[in-house]
Amino acid sequence: MSNPLATAVEDFMTGLINRNPAEYEFHQAVREVVQSVMPLVLDRQAYRDAQILERMTEPDRIIIFRVTWETDDGRIRANRAWRVQFNNSIGPYKGGLRFHPSVTQSILKFLGFEQVFKNSLTSLPMGGAKGGANFNPKGKSDREVMRFCQSLMTELHRHIGKDTDIPAGDIGVGAREISYLFGQFKRLENVFTGVLTGKGLEFGGSLLRKEATGYGCVYFCENMFQHRGDSIAGKTVSVSGSGNVALYAVEKAIELGAKVVTLSDSGGFIHDPDGINADKLAFVKELKEVRRGRISAYADQFSGATFHPDQRPWAVPVEVALPCATQNEISEAEARTLLANGVICVSEGANMPTELAGVHAFVDAGILYGPGKAANAGGVAVSGLEQSQNSARLSWSREEVDERLQRIMASIHQRCVTHGSSQHGVDYVKGSNIGGFIKVADAMLAHGAV
Residues labelled catalytic: 130
- The pattern of x and - marking residues 99 through 118 that bind ligand 2IT according to CB under 6 A reads ----------------x--x
Nearer to ligand NDP, 9 or 377 (CB): 377
Site for ligand NDP in 20-79 (CB under 6 A): none
Binds ligand 2IT (CB under 6 A): choice among 84, 168, 178, 344: 168
| 194 CB neighbour count, 10 Å cutoff | 21
Rounded Cα gap, residues 391 and 162, in angstroms? 9
Which of ligand 2IT, ligand NDP, none lies near 94, with the C-beta cut-off 5 to 8 A by kind?
ligand 2IT
Strand order in the sheet with 61-70: 61-70, 76-87, 128-133, 93-99, 165-168
Interface with ligand 2IT, residue 236, by CB under 6 A: no
Residue 350 binding: pick among ligand 2IT, ligand NDP, none (C-beta 5-8 Å cut-off by kind): ligand NDP
Instruction: Provide, rounded to whole angstroms, the least separation between the CB of residue 195 and ligand 2IT.
Output: 12
- State the number of CA atoms in the 13 A half-sphere of 318 facing the CB: 29
For the CB of residue 351, give the shortest distance to ligand 2IT in the complex, in Å: 5
The answer to whether residue 329 forms part of the interface with ligand 2IT (CB under 6 A) is no
Which of ligand NDP, ligand 2IT, none does residue 120 bind (CB under 5 to 8 Å by kind)?
none
Ranges within 158-187 binding ligand NDP (CB under 6 A): 169-172, 174
Q: How far is the CB of 52 from ligand NDP (least distance, A)?
A: 26
Q: Least Å distance between CB 29 and ligand NDP?
A: 12
CB nearer to ligand NDP: pick between 16 and 325: 325
Binding residues for ligand 2IT, per CB under 6 A? 94-96, 115, 118, 168, 170, 197, 351, 379-380, 383
Which residues lie near ligand NDP (CB under 6 A)? 102, 169-172, 174, 213, 241-246, 265-267, 324-326, 349-351, 376, 379
